Every structure is written in structure tokens, then in C-alpha cells.
Amino acid sequence: MTRKLITLMLAGVTSAGLMTACGSLDAADQSAPAETQTAEADMVVAYEVVDGAAIPQALTDQAGDPDNGRAVAIHRKKGNCLACHILPIPEQSFHGEIGPDLNGVASRYDAGELRLRLVDPKVLNADTIMPSYYRNDGYHRVLKDFQGKTLLSAQEVEDIIAYLQTLKEQ
Amino acid sequence: MGRKFWITVTAVGFGLSAATSALADEMDWGSYQVGEKRSGYTFAKPETRAIQDDEFENPAFLWVDYGEELWDTVDGTEGKACASCHESASQSMAAVGTSYPVFAPELGKPINVEQRINQCRTERMGAEPWKWESRELLAMTIYVKNQSQGEPVNVVLSDELMPFYEKGEEFYNQRRGQLDMACSNCHVDFAGGQLRANILTQGQPNGFPTYRLKWQKVGSLHRRFRGCNKQVRAKPYANGSDEYVNLELFLTHRANGLPVETPSVRN
């Protein structure tokens, strides 16, 4: 396997893609008290943002599971995508309308573009309200239980991407 | 007023979010809207607004009544009640709800209504301060602010207040927590938007302490701040902390012109 596992510590190593995304946040963060990093920070798989537009390589070797991806997207403590997006998930009431309707999203973006939009959408738009689902540093005052952690695991990100890829324009 | 109009519209069967975003702009919200500023009232469901509007149905009036009782209750080593110094609240407290937080020269920083009440208790009455979110402190804060009900919020930024106001503004715009969101992301950028089952409001403070149906009781503005911090997985600050008083100062000044609604009813 060519991909290395690295641990991202607050002051430590970070990939190029993460750097650009965090720069603006850190700048606004000067009044932040020093954060104490919890011992078990998540291991974050290194990834490469190509042309600032996509992460073509999957984060894991195991193919994404669309059914689990759908479940993770619904789960309020995991993806909670329905907070902001409409998805073809009729059994759930009240879909948010903060972000774009995700019906047909697979016809607009390929897997690599979707991956960047999930892993760290702030690379594309520093002002977006959408959280970075696979970033564990550069944040201000994270609650203790979540310090050093990513919102989703690498496999969960891949599962959601597999699910989103089923959402083709009719 | 817009109320009858609203009921007709929803009965015809518009989706809730479509109704709020498309029609709210054209609707006459009376004093609940000043230019672009809109009270949380204008985003609330008609049933919720009806509960707020009816003093007998609005459960928060139990706290108003209890506050009125406490106003006349002697407590502490000095043998005094609030009424001993301030007589009738309807006169002496009329401007408090519209103007706080104010600068407290003796402390060199702004204080809010809850803190003024406790300052009076400890320094003038020789009584113990009431705990934050206690029935007593909520009741007295509601009673005092209720004396300004319907009056426009009017926080005046003196030179002394400016540095604290600026800190509050910075807090408001700073992203925080694992979800990395600022107050402004939700309450400015997406006010009126549908966040799952919630309609995001402008997050105006003019109805606090508010009776929240979700809480099944009244709660302070700082409790709301803590909730909004925690929902983005950010460490909250303590009730009554300098950070939250500065934020309250910024937020209340931002609400200038909207009516004091205490005690409001919200979802």
C-alpha cells in the first residue's frame, strides 16, 4: 500500500490539502485558548487534492457500501446530511434546504469530486457552512469527546460516496 | 395584522418553509419586524404565537407571577425586598429590559439583568445570589424584563462598552466546534432556511428568558448560547461568563428596534 497513515496533531504534520483549508480558520482563531489534545486522536489517512478540484483516490481499499452509506447519511450523530440537504429518502420527514438538493448529484460530479466535497468542502469554498467530514484539526474549542476526531471514519466517507453515486439524474 | 392572513395561507396548504420564505417578506409583521430585522416570533408556527399572545395560556406567566411575589419578599441580613428600594417595578424597571447589558463602572465591564439582580441581592440586601437558571433568578429576570414588554430594544453603545461589544461581535462571527460553524453561519447566512425540522431564525434575543416548548420550561439567553454552542460540538462557556455577556451585548444591540417580548414562547 502506498498510502501512509499519519496522525494529525494540532501543531503537527498536515497534508497540503488540509493546510490551505485551515489557513483562514486559524487566522480568525487568535483568541483561542491553547487546546489540550486528547491522547487518542484519530488516525487520518493521507490524501491528495488534485488541481484543487477532487480527491480521485479512495481513502480505503475496501469498496464503499452504498446501503451503509445511506444509513450513515441519515444518522443524526454521523452524517446528518438531511439537516441541510434533500435526498431521495422518503421514510425520513423534514429534509433541510440549506444546501443543494442532492437528487441527481452523481450526474454532476464524479467520485473524486464528491470525495473532496465530503472530506473538506472548505477547499472549494472557505465560507461554506458545510462541515468537513474528514478533518480533525484546525478547529476552535471542540468539545472534549470530539477533540482530534473526524466526523466520519474513512470507510464511512467511502460508503457515503458509494451511496451518492447511485443518485443519477432520472 | 398579518395573523389572520397567515392562518388562511397555511390552511390553503402551502409547505411551511415555502410559506415563510416566500410570503414572510410581503407579510405585515407589525412591530415584530423592523426593516430586515425580524423577531423569532415571525418565524414561529401560528399555534406557538397564539400561546405567547395569550397571557392565560402562556405558561411563562407563572414565572412573571412568581417574580412579582419575590419583588415584595424581604430577604437577607438588611431586611429589605426589591420593593424597599425600587417601589413599583412598572415605573422603576420600565427601561431595564430595553437597555441592558449596561456598563458597570465598579466592575469595569458590562453586566446583564441577571447579574444586576444578584448584585442588588448581595450588596444591598445582604442575601445570597440566586443560582443561574434557578426558578428565582429566572422569575425575577422575566418579571423585570416584562415591565418593558412591547417597548423597542435600545442598547446605547458608549465608548466604555465598545471594546466589549467588539469582542461579542468577534465571538458571533467565529467558527467553533467540530462542526466548525459560527453563530452567523446559521442566523445570518441562512436565516429563514430550513434546517431539518427547524426554521432558522435570525437568533434575536428580544424574547428572553423564553418559554421553550422543547424544554417545557423557561430558560435564559445564556442557556440558549450553551445549547447553540453544544450543537456544533463546541465547548460552551459558563452562564454569566464575560464571553457570554459580551455576546449578549452584541446580540441585544443588533436587536435594537425590535420589541421586548419577555416572556416569549418558542419551539
Alpha helices, H only, chain B? 3-12, 16-18, 24, 46-53, 61-71, 82-86, 89-92, 96-99, 113-119, 135-146, 162-173, 183-184, 221-231, 242-254
Instruction: Give domain status of residue B78, yes or no.
Output: yes
Report d(CA B92, CA B113) in Å as an integer. 14
Instruction: Give domain status of residue A90, yes or no.
Output: yes
> CB pairs below 8 Å between A and B: how many?
76
More confident residue, A70 or A38: A70
Same-domain status, B41 and B81: no
Host domain of residue B173: 2-58+156-266
**What average pLDDT does the structure give for chain A?**
82
Is A142 at the interface with chain B, CB within 8 A? yes
Same-domain status, B206 and B187: yes
Provide the pLDDT confidence category of residue A11 given band limits of 50, 70 and 90: very low
Report d(CA B256, CA B233) in Å as an integer. 30
Query: In this structure, what C-alpha cell is assigned to residue B50?
Result: 397564539
The predicted pLDDT at position B24 comes to 53
Same-domain status, B162 and B49: yes
Report d(CA A142, CA A146) in Å as an integer. 6
Instruction: Taking residues A111-138, report their average pLDDT.
Output: 98
Is A12 at the interface with chain B, CB within 8 A? no
pTM (two decimals): 0.87
* Cα B195–Cα B196–Cα B201 angle in degrees, nearest 5: 30
Q: Is A146 in Cβ contact with B193 (below 8 Å)?
A: no
pLDDT in tens, A18-47: 222 332 223 333 343 344 444 466 789 999
CB atoms near residue B64 (< 10 Å): 21
Host domain of residue A116: 3-164
Same-domain status, B69 and B126: yes
Instruction: Give domain status of residue A100, yes or no.
Output: yes
Q: Is A96 in Cβ contact with B193 (below 8 Å)?
A: yes
Of the candidates B82, B120, B183, B228, the residue annotated as catalytic is B228
The predicted pLDDT at position B238 comes to 98
The predicted pLDDT at position B260 comes to 98
Rg (CA), chain B: 19
Which residue in B239, B260, B265, B257 sits closest to B93, CA to CA?
B260
Instruction: Give domain status of residue B91, yes or no.
Output: yes
CATH assignment of the domain containing A33: 1.10.760.10
Same-domain status, B233 and B167: yes
Query: What residues 13-32 of chain B have any CB closer than 8 A to a CB of chain A?
Result: 17
First to last CA, chain B: 22
Q: Is B190 in Cβ contact with A141 (below 8 Å)?
A: no
Residue A159 backbone zone (phi > 0: left; psi -120 to 50: alpha; other: beta):
alpha
Q: Is A139 in Cβ contact with B180 (below 8 Å)?
A: yes
Which of B120, B146, B172 is where one domain is finished?
B146
Instruction: Give domain status of residue A169, yes or no.
Output: no
Mutate which of A10, A31, A139, A149 to disrupt the B interface (most B C-beta within 10 Å)?
A139
Same-domain status, B185 and B171: yes
Is-contact B207 B261, C-beta < 8 A? yes
Is-contact B57 B51, C-beta < 8 A? yes
Chain A hits for B191, Cβ within 8 Å? none
Same-domain status, B247 and B229: yes
Counted domains in chain B = 2
Query: In this structure, what C-alpha cell is assigned to residue B251?
Result: 446580540
* Cα B115–Cα B121–Cα B124 angle in degrees, nearest 5: 115
Mean pLDDT by 10 residues, chain B (267 residues): 33 40 70 97 97 97 98 98 98 98 98 98 98 98 98 98 98 98 98 96 98 96 98 98 98 98 97
Instruction: Give domain status of residue B209, yes or no.
Output: yes
ipTM: 0.89
Which position has the grid cell 417580548?
Answer: B261
pLDDT in tens, B79-99: 999 999 999 999 999 999 999
Chain B hits for A31, Cβ within 8 Å? 170, 174
Instruction: Taking residues A103-112, report their average pLDDT.
Output: 98
The predicted pLDDT at position A147 comes to 97
The residue of chain B nearest to residue A76, with distances taken between CA atoms, is: B196
Same-domain status, B96 and B35: no
Report d(CA A26, CA A5) in Å as an integer. 24
More confident residue, B106 or A1: B106
Residue A18 parent element (H or E):
helix A16-27
Is B162 at the interface with chain A, CB within 8 A? no
Same-domain status, B35 and B66: no
The predicted pLDDT at position A43 comes to 83
pLDDT in tens, B132-176: 999 999 999 999 999 999 999 999 999 999 999 999 999 999 999
Give B113-118's long-range contacts (Cβ < 8 A, gap of 24+).
B113/B141, B113/B144, B113/B145, B114/B141, B114/B220, B114/B222, B114/B240, B115/B240, B115/B245, B117/B141, B117/B144
The predicted pLDDT at position A42 comes to 73
CB-nearest to A143 from B175, B177, B197 is B177
CATH assignment of the domain containing B237: 1.10.760.10
Same-domain status, B122 and B247: no
The predicted pLDDT at position A28 comes to 33
The yes-or-no answer on residue B82 being catalytic is no
